[in-house]
Amino acid sequence: MLDENMSLEEVRAFFANDRYATEACGCEVLEAAHGHAVCAFDITGIHRNAQGNVMGGAIFTLADLALAVACNIGENPTMSVSSTIEYLSVAKGTRLIATADADKSGRSLGFYTVNVEDDLGIKVARMTATCFRRP
């Protein structure tokens, strides 16, 4: 269990082990609390697809990291069992920000919504997820 009283630096150190998100994609944890997290990355060329837009997989990776942080702080080890993402608009800004919040955090299941927007306030994607907590 990740303690609710962990410092942001301790949370960042723990999730640095999500190396695809943190190293390959450049995601960083900005806020971390029980049932809530904010993660972001600066959009670079590596995030873009052949049409010049941010690749769906990069957006999903950011949303998935925010989900992982939000659903594991103060809870038994938790993993996503189902995620659905809707891509709402292309990003126009230079940074993507994902905000994850618990809709319902139960003993064995958690339900979360992750909203992704760019630094201009454009809503880029929305993910809903169901997570399972190990006893």
For the stretch 53-64, pLDDT in tens is: 999 999 999 999
One-letter amino acid identity for 43?
Answer: I
Which residue range is the domain that position 116 belongs to? 8-133
pLDDT at 57: 97
Is residue 53 one of the residues assigned to a domain?
Answer: yes
State how far the alpha carbon of 62 is from the alpha carbons of 5, 107, 135, in Å. Answer: 24, 25, 27
Q: What's the CATH number where 123 sits?
A: 3.10.129.10
Low-confidence ranges of the chain (pLDDT < 70): 1
Is residue 109 one of the residues assigned to a domain?
Answer: yes
Give the total number of structural domains in the chain: 1
Spatial separation of the C-alpha atoms in residues 54 and 62, rounded to whole Å: 12
